[in-house]
Every structure is written in C-alpha cells, then in structure tokens.
C-alpha cells in the first residue's frame, strides 16, 4: 500500500564550504500545495528552486521550511560606516551644548540607528553555489519526512481497508434484505385492502393487487445503486493496493462522495426500516473514511 500521509517532519544539518546549515521541514494536511519558506533575506533567489524541489516530493499539503545558517569565516558581513555623517552629527551636538551653556553627551547608540550612518550588508552570494550547498541537506530532511509519511500512510491504508470491508458487509446485508421487501409490500397492501373492504364494497382483485406491488417494487428497486456501490468499492480498493507513488487523496474524496450519494438514494427508495437502519450504519462508516482521507496526499 503506497498511501502517503500529508503529515511529516524532517530535520537535517550539513557543514559545507559556505558554512553550517540546519534545516527543518514540516508538512500538514491542506487541500493544495502551500509552501511557506522561512529563509534569510539574502536567499531570495533560491526560493523558487526550493519550492520546486519540495513540490517534486510533496504534491499537496501546507509545507513550512526553516533554515539556520552560520556563514563560513570568509563570508563576512560588509560593514559601512559614514564618518562624514558621524562627524557632522557630533559637531551639531557640541554646538548645541555651547549655545545653551552646558555639555551635551553625544548619544552614540541612537546615532548609529540613523539612516546612512551604519550599514551592514550580507555577504554577496552566488545563488547557484548556495543552492548546490543546501540541496543535499534539504533532500536529507525530505527523506525523513517521506519515511514518516509512508509509515503513517500504511497505518491509514489498513484502517481504510477495514472500513471498506465493513461497507461491503453492510451492502451484502442490504441486498439480502431487498428480497424480503417485495413480500413485505405485498402483505402490507393485502392488509390495507382488507381494512378498506367495508368501504369499497369489494376486495381488490389478485391481479390488481399484484400490479400495485410491482409498481411499488419498481419505485423502490435499489439494484442499480448496489451495483454502483460495489463498483465504487472496487475503485477505492485499487487505490489502496496501488504501488504507484501518485496522490490518491482527491480521488478517494470523490469516490467517498459517490458512495454517500448512493447510500442516500437507497435510504430514500427502500422504504424499509431494516434497510434504513443498515444504510445509517453504512453512511456512518463512510464518514469515518472521509475523515481519514483528509490527511491522505
């Protein structure tokens, strides 16, 4: 069973020529692929390539990516200090002090916060070299996520298979009960005709009674719905047993909706309390399936 969960977590580290890298990736269920990178500002050029790298392994889900980077010693920050602006500001403070007749201490801490005084630039990076350095560590984290998603997917596949077996059993019960529905309807009409005999003056003829029974049977026939249910079960089972690494969650959601549609039709057409009770249980089991496949990729 190749189902994959949308929930996973992976963490990896690497020491390269560009420094020390630590990456964490977390994925949770989501209807579409939603990539949320948390990267150093100077890594903007790598974001699209990182998104493509993750999307090749994770088809849908909300994916958060965190990076911590300690640059190599030769990748130093570029610090620019405007001595002209500092001298000018310091002179202004001294002149203001002389004007009021007191010494004014230059607030150096605030002075360095002024625009154009102190500029710290990140190291200039080659985006190709940077991606080459981080691609491996991201792949290692993705391998961990895959292992977690695969393990959870196997457990989910087994649970879904158990629910599917229950649906098949309930459908078989409904089909067996269907055979007695016609006789129940015939007996119900016969009793009604006997009750109405004093009013209508005569009992319904056997042919007329049988015609009414056949009309009711045609209106309440659920053969097609049962056939379609079993077809949906087979399609769902093929997805469970497939070894292909293809997203199955959306397809399973569609099949589950169709199962509920057929179950509702059976419940409205059968007009039998026993069948209606079985349909309620069948719908309940189907809802359990729908809840679980919300986390299937």
The residue that leads in pLDDT, 79 or 288, is 288
Question: What's the rounded Cα separation, in Å, for the pair 261 and 227?
Answer: 13
* Residue 186: pLDDT band with limits 50, 70, 90: low
Query: Which of 181-185, 221-225, 254-258 holds the top average pLDDT?
Result: 254-258
CA distances (Å), origin 278, targets 105, 173, 270: 87, 8, 11
Mean pLDDT of the region 79-92 = 77
* Residue 9: pLDDT band with limits 50, 70, 90: very high
* Residue 189: pLDDT band with limits 50, 70, 90: low
Does the pLDDT of residue 116 top 80, yes or no? no
Question: What's the rounded Cα separation, in Å, for the pair 171 and 282?
Answer: 8
Alpha carbon 155 to chain centroid, angstroms: 17
> What pLDDT score does 201 carry?
47
First vs last C-alpha separation in the chain: 13
Does the pLDDT of residue 285 top 90, yes or no? yes
φ, ψ for residue 66 (rounded to 5)?
Answer: -115, 140
> What pLDDT score does 197 carry?
57
In CATH, the architecture of 8-74+129-149 is 2-Layer Sandwich (3.30)
Residues 6+ apart with CB under 8 A from 223: 178
Residues of the chain with CATH 3.30.230.40: 8-74+129-149
φ, ψ for residue 283 (rounded to 5)?
Answer: -65, -35
């Amino acid at each position: 069973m190749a189902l994959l969960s949308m929930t996973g977590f992976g963490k990896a580290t690497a020491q390269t020529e560009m420094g020390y890298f630590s990456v964490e990736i977390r994925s949770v269920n989501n209807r579409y692929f939603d990539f949320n990178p948390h990267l150093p500002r100077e890594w903007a050029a790598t974001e699209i390539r990182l998104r493509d790298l993750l999307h090749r392994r994770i088809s849908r889900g909300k994916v958060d990516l965190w990076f911590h980077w300690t640059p190599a010693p030769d990748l130093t920050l570029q610090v620019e200090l405007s001595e002209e602006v500092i001298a000018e500001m310091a002179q202004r403070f001294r002149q203001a002090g002389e004007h009021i007749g007191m010494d004014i201490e230059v607030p150096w801490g605030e002075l360095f916060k002024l625009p154009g005084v102190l500029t710290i630039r990140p190291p200039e990076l080659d985006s190709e070299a940077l991606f080459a350095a981080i691609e491996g560590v991201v792949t290692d984290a993705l391998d961990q996520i895959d292992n977690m998603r695969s393990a959870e997917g196997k457990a989910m596949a087994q649970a879904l298979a158990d629910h599917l077996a229950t649906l098949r059993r309930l459908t078989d019960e409904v089909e067996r009960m269907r055979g007695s529905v016609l006789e129940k309807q015939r007996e119900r009409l016969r009793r009604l005709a006997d009750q109405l005999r004093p009013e209508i003056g005569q009992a319904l003829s056997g042919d007329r009674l049988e015609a009414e029974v056949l009309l009711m049977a045609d209106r309440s026939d659920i053969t097609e719905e049962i056939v379609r249910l079993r077809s949906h079960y087979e399609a769902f089972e093929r997805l469970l047993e497939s070894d292909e690494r293809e997203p199955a969650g959306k397809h399973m959601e569609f099949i589950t909706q169709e199962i509920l549609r057929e179950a509702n039709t059976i419940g409205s057409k059968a007009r039998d309390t026993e069948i209606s009770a079985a349909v309620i249980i069948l719908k309940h089991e189907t809802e359990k399936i729908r809840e679980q496949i919300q986390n299937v990729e």
